[in-house]
Amino acid sequence: MTDNNLTPITEQNQLEDVCGRLSEGEFICVDTEFHRESTYWPELCLIQASCPGFEVIIDPMDDDLDIGPFLQLIAEPSRPKVFHAARQDMEIFDRLIGHPPGPIFDTQIAAMALGIGDSISYDNLVQRVLKRSIDKSSQFTDWKRRPLTDKQLTYAMGDVTHLRDVYIKMREQLQAQGRMDWVRSEMAAMEDAALYDVSPEKAWQRLKIRKPQTEYVAVFASVAAWREQMAQDRNKPRRRILKDDAIQEIADQKPTSESGFERLRAVPKGFIRSKYATGLIEAVTRALADPAAFAPKVPKRKHNAETPAGAPEMLKVLLKAVSDEAAVVPRLIANAADIERLARGETGDDIPAMTGWRYDLFGKKANDLLSGKLALSFENTQVRLFEL
């Protein structure tokens, strides 16, 4: 804390006191250390939190500690919660709280709006923004082991003390440049509960469906749901239960017997008789008994219009010129899918690059370029834009 005490909180009355201190801040910086290499659910090992003038480490692995007061604190929508690369932290808190904590501020996303870097790491961000170096020698600590050393705890604490200073500086820069709204929509997307939904019946959505046939889709979705449920129940990574390519082959071959599974190349020999395969044959059989009921509605593949030769390349040059001039990471303005759709002449508002500030910065110019109202040229190795 402010007296440089690195001792993690393990007492309930201490936790309630520090949550009171954190609640006085206008924002809370949060980071977690967790273990997940051999489990489905992340095992929370450490929580680091800070606000202006105060920081603390909480040990959620202590059997006598109920972290409910801290969860209640970050669940409140009254102040921003600051993370770096928030996705995995958000997944943990979504499960513990029952919904994603918001509003959030993700410094990795903010870095894109300020042109600092695309998917920039925390240590590189601290170096770029604060001109500080971080000792990364404790980066691969086994955070489940106790006791933790002062060196490990100092490293962990730095994840929220540097973050606090980075946030204050980045917030000032975004406000000065009028770009706070640019990142709000991106961060709001991180608060969408659907992003963290691991319902077994939706597991097929994370995989690529290769065929439109009803029986294939039914078995594919049924087996994906079976694997997800099995992984959750046994708390094992999905790949430890069954690999993705095995789901594809089962949906393709539709085996309904042990001998049928033994003939599959992607399924390990003897797997169907293992403890992990309980219910797999039944999942396939049920799907084949009523394919229409088991097959989810899969979006029909669109027949895309032919892309004019050179159009994507021209748009990429335009995007690079626009992003360089505005000092924004190009991917925040338009991704590869946006470029392809624009090159084919699509202009719908379901293309992010054609809405809001992205349209003002890039989308309108992209339309003008493709319609012949704007031209590109090079002058002293720099791209120049000319209205025609």
Q: How far is CA 120 from the centre of its chain?
A: 14
98: pLDDT confidence band, cut at 50, 70 and 90?
A: very high
Kindly state the average pLDDT of the residues 2-23. 88
First-to-last alpha carbon distance for the chain, in angstroms, is 61
* CATH class of the domain comprising 12-196: alpha beta
Rg value, the chain, Cα:
25
What is residue 2's predicted lDDT score, i.e. its pLDDT? 41
**Domain 200-294 is of which CATH architecture?**
Orthogonal Bundle (1.10)
Same topology between domain 12-196 and domain 200-294? no
Helix or strand run (H / E) with residue 238: helix 238-241
Order the strands of the 54-58 sheet from edge to edge: 54-58, 43-51, 28-35, 81-83, 104-106
CB 204 within 8 A of CB 224: yes
Model confidence over 303-345: pLDDT tens digits? 566 778 889 999 999 999 999 999 999 999 999 999 999 999 8
Other beta carbons within 10 Å of 124: 13
Q: Where are the domains of the chain?
A: 12-196, 200-294, 311-387
Sign of CA dihedral 33, 37, 39, 41: positive
What is residue 347's predicted lDDT score, i.e. its pLDDT? 85
Q: Identify residue 167 by its one-letter amino acid code.
A: Y
Instruction: Retrieve residue 2's tokens.
Output: 């402010």
What is residue 301's predicted lDDT score, i.e. its pLDDT? 64
Distance CA 320, CA 168 (A): 29
Model confidence over 213-237: pLDDT tens digits? 999 999 999 999 999 999 999 999 9
What is residue 387's predicted lDDT score, i.e. its pLDDT? 85
Question: At which residue do the structure tokens 């009028």 appear?
Answer: 178
CB 253 within 8 A of CB 242: no
Helix 244-253 / helix 214-234 crossing angle, nearest 10 deg: 140
What is residue 1's predicted lDDT score, i.e. its pLDDT? 42
Question: At which residue do the structure tokens 């669940």 appear?
Answer: 75
Tell me the backbone φ, ψ of residue 133, rounded to 5 degrees: -105, 145
The CATH number of 311-387 is which of 1.10.150, 3.40.50, 1.10.3470, 1.10.1220?
A: 1.10.150
Kindly state the average pLDDT of the residues 258-283. 94
Of the listed ranges 24-33, 124-133, 346-355, the least confidently predicted one is: 346-355
Helix 122-130 / helix 150-176 crossing angle, nearest 10 deg: 60
Kindly state the average pLDDT of the residues 58-85. 97
348: pLDDT confidence band, cut at 50, 70 and 90?
A: confident
**Short-list 315, 318, 312, 328, CA closest to 384:** 318
Peptide bond preceding 200 in cis form (omega within 30 of 0): no
Kindly state the average pLDDT of the residues 122-129. 97
302: pLDDT confidence band, cut at 50, 70 and 90?
A: low
Tell me the backbone φ, ψ of residue 28, rounded to 5 degrees: -130, 125
Single pTM value for the model: 0.90
CB 333 within 8 A of CB 319: yes
